[in-house]
Amino acid sequence: MGPFPQPCRACARAWSLKGKPVVIGGRGEPGVERDGSAPSRGVVTTATYEARAFGIHSAMPMSRAYRLCPQAVFLPTDFPEYRRVSAIFKDCMRSISPYMEDRGIDE
């Protein structure tokens, strides 16, 4: 998945994350779980360009992303929201042209 989820999050948070390293993936917590158990095995779904400057990329383990940039904002995935925003965008595109091919929520 490309950087599509990050703008969804940024808009939802009133641009408070603009310019910050943001990593989206798993449950959003790269460290120890809330109950004190071992870290989750989540992976990075996407990251802002600011986070990518630290070497963070999609499919990287969240724990490695944390080691590369502990000051990043880590957020969980929110696929219902991505589907909602994607549907709005695609409806807008279909109102302009009947020749839109739907390939997924981020394409």
- The residues assigned a catalytic role are 107
CB atoms within 10 A of CB 39: 15
| Pairwise CA distance, residues 94 & 90, whole Å | 6
Q: How far apart are the first and last CA of the chain?
A: 9
| Pairwise CA distance, residues 52 & 54, whole Å | 5
CB atoms within 10 A of CB 58: 15
